[in-house]
């Protein structure tokens, strides 16, 4: 591996820490009264909120002292020179959905599982494209093992450190010379508990079954076009007769799972697939909606991980699944979720290697697309 310049091995942390500026999160003003701390109505954002959205949508160019400015990002170019050769772009039905990390020279790739569906293709740094087969699934860590018919690939180099110190600089390689983004490790590995899953409907008991009385805005139910008055008769081919049994059955899934619902709509019988979301805490719905407008969507699955470390790298949801490296270019983990505007999660290298030991020796898996969501 190439020797890193002295400023990347020693002085970079102190030097860049003094240069990096972040726009502090500001509270939106109330559109009517202008009171700080009050939430703005949807579609009627205050001036601070509009400034934030413009800023993180890329409508305002980065200042020369911000870490997303080219002059700062390019300082990490040599850090990702080798790891970029071990990074792939994962496309499903021709759309980029994730990154992946090459873990064996004969075509094994680890990536984020919950974003996979349809026909999978892996694009290498040299623009070669290969159809990929899912051969392993580690649902608890949201990892999937893919196999492409290629040899002579460059696997990632894993770190030999058992734990990365908080405050360490990290870089996320893509397929280009510069890193996709850089950041700092902000919290050591810990459990991120899975939130209770919800479909996003209010239910009443009807003589025919569990009837939808209200559909929550922005929920999986709304996205699946469920309607008030629909009777939910089954979940994943299991018959449902009561409101209570439906609530109990949904509670057996995880946020981010897809379920197949059997619906009675008037005289019509329908089968509809819906995505389960997390149960929001008080006030979280408005924060979530506002957050999602700041640049890009959050990862669909961003909780329920046995062990992840947190870093403040800004990533798009479809930039998860690939390696994140230290200043030596060693892979310290696999980015697994964009959890907030400046909060991303990564599965530590030690956990990924344990998962790989099982996945590489397991029999190939057959996974229905809905089971991956």
Sorted by where each begins, the domain ranges of the chain are 6-68, 83-193+285-372, 197-278
Give the whole-angstrom CA distance, residue 204 versus residue 209: 9
Question: At 346, is the pLDDT very low, low, confident or very high (cuts 50, 70, 90)?
Answer: very high
For the record, the structure tokens of 231 come out as: 């009777």
Q: How many CB atoms lie within 10 A of CB 198?
A: 19
Question: At 3, is the pLDDT very low, low, confident or very high (cuts 50, 70, 90)?
Answer: very low
Give the whole-angstrom CA distance, residue 62 versus residue 21: 10
214 close to 228: Cβ distance less than 8 angstroms: yes
Q: What are the backbone angles phi and psi of residue 140, rounded to the nearest 5°? A: -65, -35
Helix (H, G, I), strand (E, B) or coil at 77: coil
Tens of pLDDT along 236-250? Answer: 989 999 999 999 999
Top-confidence residue, 59 or 338: 338
CATH class of 197-278: mainly beta
Nearest Cα neighbor of 148 from 102, 97, 79, 87 is: 102
CATH class of 83-193+285-372: mainly beta
199 close to 255: Cβ distance less than 8 angstroms: no
Over residues 265-278, mean pLDDT: 92
Dihedral of alpha carbons 8, 14, 16, 17, sign:
positive
Which parts of 193-348 are beta strand (E)?
197-198, 201-206, 209-215, 231-235, 238-239, 258-265, 268-275, 277-278, 305-311, 323-325, 331-340, 343-348
322 close to 105: Cβ distance less than 8 angstroms: no
- For the chain, report the end-to-end CA distance as a whole number of angstroms: 38
Q: What are the backbone angles phi and psi of residue 250, rounded to the nearest 5°? A: -60, -35
Q: Give pTM, 2 decimals.
A: 0.72
Top-confidence residue, 47 or 20: 47
Tell me: pLDDT of 53 over 90: no
Q: What is the pLDDT of residue 13?
A: 42
What is the separation of C-alpha 199 from the centre of its chain, rounded to a whole number of angstroms? 20
Give the whole-angstrom CA distance, residue 193 versus residue 305: 7
Tens of pLDDT along 112-148? Answer: 999 999 999 999 999 999 999 999 999 999 999 999 9
Question: At 195, is the pLDDT very low, low, confident or very high (cuts 50, 70, 90)?
Answer: confident
Helix (H, G, I), strand (E, B) or coil at 273: strand
Over residues 226-237, mean pLDDT: 96
Q: What is the pLDDT of residue 338?
A: 95
Give the whole-angstrom CA distance, residue 274 versus residue 226: 9
């Amino acid at each position: 591996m190439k020797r890193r310049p002295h400023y990347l091995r020693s002085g970079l942390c102190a030097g860049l820490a003094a240069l990096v500026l972040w726009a502090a999160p500001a509270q939106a003003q109330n559109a009517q009264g202008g009171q700080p701390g009050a939430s703005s109505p949807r579609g009627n954002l205050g001036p601070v909120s509009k400034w934030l959205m413009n800023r993180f949508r890329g409508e305002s160019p980065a200042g020369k002292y911000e870490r997303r400015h080219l002059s700062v990002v390019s300082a990490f170019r040599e850090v990702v020179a080798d790891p970029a050769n071990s990074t792939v772009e994962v496309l499903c039905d021709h759309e980029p959905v994730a990154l992946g990390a090459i873990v064996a020279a004969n075509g094994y790739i680890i990536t984020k599982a919950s974003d996979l569906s349809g026909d999978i293709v892996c694009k290498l740094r040299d623009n070669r494209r290969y159809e990929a087969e899912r051969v392993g699934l580690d649902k608890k860590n949201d990892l999937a093992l893919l196999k492409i018919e290629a040899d002579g690939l460059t696997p990632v180099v894993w770190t030999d450190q058992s734990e990365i110190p908080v405050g360490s600089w990290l870089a996320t390689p893509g397929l280009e010379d510069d890193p996709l983004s850089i950041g700092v490790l902000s919290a050591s590995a810990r459990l991120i508990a899975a939130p209770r899953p919800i479909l996003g409907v209010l239910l009443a008991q009807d003589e025919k079954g569990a009837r939808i009385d209200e559909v929550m805005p922005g929920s999986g139910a709304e996205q699946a076009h469920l309607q008030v008055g629909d009777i939910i008769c089954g979940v994943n081919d299991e018959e449902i007769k009561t409101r209570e049994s439906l609530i109990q059955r949904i509670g057996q899934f995880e946020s981010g799972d897809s379920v197949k619902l059997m619906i009675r709509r008037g005289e019509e019988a329908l089968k509809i697939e819906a995505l389960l979301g997390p149960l929001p805490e008080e006030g979280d719905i408005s924060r979530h909606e506002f957050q999602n407008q700041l640049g890009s969507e959050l990862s669909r699955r961003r909780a329920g991980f046995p062990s992840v470390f947190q870093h403040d790298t800004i990533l798009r949801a479809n930039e998860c699944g690939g390696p994140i490296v230290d200043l030596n270019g060693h892979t310290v983990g696999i980015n697994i979720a964009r959890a907030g505007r400046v909060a991303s999660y990564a599965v530590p290298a030690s956990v990924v290697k344990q998962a790989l030991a099982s996945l590489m020796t397991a029999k190939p898996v057959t996974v229905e697309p809905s089971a991956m969501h």
